[in-house]
Amino acid sequence: MVGHFTPNPMWTNEVWGLAALNTDNERYITCSDDATLRVYSNLKRKCLGILALDVDKEGNTLKRIRIKGFKGKGMPERATARAVGISHNDEIICVGMKDGTV
C-alpha cells in the first residue's frame, strides 16, 4: 500500500484533502503534508499516480526548512497541501496549501 507520510514530528502526517472524481466511481484524489497529490483506484486498490507539489513556478524543487524542535528539515508551508477540489468534468484540480495559496 502506498500512502502519505512526511518525516516531521511537528506535523500530524495525515491526509488533509480528499475528493472523488466526478466522471467515475472508481478514482479519488488525496493531498497531504508530504507535498504530494495522489490518485487512487478503489477497484484496483492501488495508487495510480503521484504529483509532487514542492515545486515553484519555474519547476524548481523547494528547499526544505529547519523547524524548531526537529533535528531534520521539513516541508515549507507553501508545499504542504490542505484541501483539494475537482471541477465537474474532472479537467481541473485545485489544491489549497497550508500558507493559504492555491
Nearest alpha-carbon partner for 11 in 77, 89, 99, 85? 77
> Model confidence over 24-69: pLDDT tens digits?
889 999 998 888 999 999 999 999 999 999 988 888 888 887 767 6
Separation between Cα atoms, residue 33 and residue 12, nearest integer Å: 8
CA distance 24 to 44: 14
The model's pTM:
0.81
Structure confidence by residue, pLDDT tens digits, 66-101: 767 666 677 788 888 999 999 999 999 999 999 999
Which residue type sits at 20? A
pLDDT of residue 13: 63
